[in-house]
Structure 1
Amino acid sequence: MTVARTPLPRGLFADDALPLYERTAARLLDELRATGARTGDRLPSERALSARYGVSRVTLRAALAELEARGIVRPTSSRGWFVAELGAPAPAAAAPQVQGFADYAEVNGLTASSRVLSATVRPATVPEAEQLRIAPGADLFDLHRLRFLDDLVVVLEHNRLPLAVCPALAETDFGKASLYATLRAADPPQLPRVADYSVEARHPTPRERELLETGDRMPMLVATQLTFNQEDRPIELTVQVYRGDRYRFRASITNQA
């Protein structure tokens, strides 16, 4: 299924695209290996690395946090970053990636934009608390947005996150900011790693028809996702309602037997 005016988003598991911070981490790791860096060697400053790779300090810090989570670099409180253990190069492989909407747009040369419908902090319900492994009534950041690619409306998105994982969520304007970039910039960084993901088709509600600008015959594809961070902790519960003509889900399936 195709749309003449824009490439189709393929969901949050893209096997041929990486977020900018992961590409930056890969470039840095390749450079460390190519230059023969050893355990204990000090990395250039964050300012120098940002300039070298042409990325923002936020992206660079997310890349360093990615390498830290893999045990490749380590920070110190006052002297910057050091090589911890490079290890052997990993074999090249196409693996599914947990990818945010803004990340998808960036790597595919599209312009993502959002209209915030509501952004509140409220108590978590019992079902939400069970899925996110938090106490019932704990502060939950609840975000509803309408998402666009190149000014075409694509998806109605509802995100719920424990406020404790990133208090800055409540102060961020998600009409402009990326949710995943905000999580990666948290202290400590929250790196989306694994997600339980399901997709089903259904008819739209009247409000969905209005917001997504469809007729009553247009099917919706509804994606439900529970995302886990680098410590295998659930950090995001999301429901996305896509226009059926502007969404394609793609996955690689293997037989491990």
Structure 2
Amino acid sequence: MWWVERVRLVDGVPLAVETAQLAGELPGLAEQLAARGSMYETLREVYGRGVDEVRDAVQSRLADPREAELLAVETGHPLLVVRRHSHTADGRPVEWTHSVYRGDRFTFVAAARRT
């Protein structure tokens, strides 16, 4: 099991703190992520673990002191919290991610289609 924590930036400004747990053996993961940037691309192209399905749960809350410091906001700033579970096409778990987004810089959009 791997544990990856990253501060995601947009135009040099913090947008989110992302903490991911990744299943399985992933030799050289830190170096691959540093070189490629995209976790899903790295998992797919280097380790053969393509994500086929994700399930997100979204809620709002206020920033604690650590999150406020990492996101360059005041303690108590509005946040959106996204918890994600992803799986391969055959149902194997790929990741469990907890992301905390600045409420003033992130919009959550959901779409649905009848199948």
TM-score range, shorter chain: 0.7 to 0.9
**Whose helix proportion is higher, 1 or 2?**
1
Matched with 1:225 is: 84
Matched with 2:112 is: 253
Q: Which amino acid aligns with 1:181?
A: E
State whether structure 2 residue 7 is matched by structure 1 residue 146.
Answer: yes
Moved over 6 A (4+): none
Matched residue of 1:186: which SS?
A: helix
Matched with 1:181 is: 41
Kept in 1, the 8 Å contact 2:33–2:39? The answer is no
Please give the per-residue CA displacement for 1:2-55, whole angstroms capped at 9, x wherever unaligned: xxxxxxxxxxxxxxxxxxxxxxxxxxxxxxxxxxxxxxxxxxxxxxxxxxxxxx
Which one has more relative contact order, counting CA pairs under 8 Å at least 6 apart? 2
**Alpha-carbon distance change, 171 to 155 in structure 1, aligned in 2, over 3 angstroms:** same
Matched residue of 2:66: which SS?
A: helix
Matched residue of 1:247: which SS?
A: coil
Q: What is the Cα deviation at residue 238 of structure 1? A: 0.2
Kept in 2, the 8 Å contact 1:163–1:169? The answer is no
Give the TM-score normalised by structure 1: 0.41
Q: Which amino acid aligns with 2:99?
A: Q
Kept in 1, the 8 Å contact 2:36–2:42? The answer is no
Structure 1 unaligned spans of 5+:
1-139
Distance 1:228 1:158 in 2: 17
Give the TM-score normalised by structure 2: 0.87
Distance 1:232 1:254 in 2: 22
Kept in 1, the 8 Å contact 2:33–2:42? The answer is no
State whether structure 2 residue 71 is matched by structure 1 residue 212.
Answer: yes
Distance 1:225 1:249 in 2: 13
Distance 2:29 2:14 in 1: 24
**Whose strand proportion is higher, 1 or 2?**
2
State whether structure 2 residue 53 is matched by structure 1 residue 190.
Answer: no
Please give the per-residue CA displacement for 1:190-229, whole angstroms capped at 9, x wherever unaligned: 1111111100001111000111011234211000000111
Structure 2 unaligned spans of 5+:
none
Kept in 1, the 8 Å contact 2:56–2:85? The answer is yes
Matched residue of 1:238: which SS?
A: strand
Kept in 2, the 8 Å contact 1:204–1:219? The answer is yes
Distance 1:178 1:248 in 2: 20
How many residue pairs match? The answer is: 115
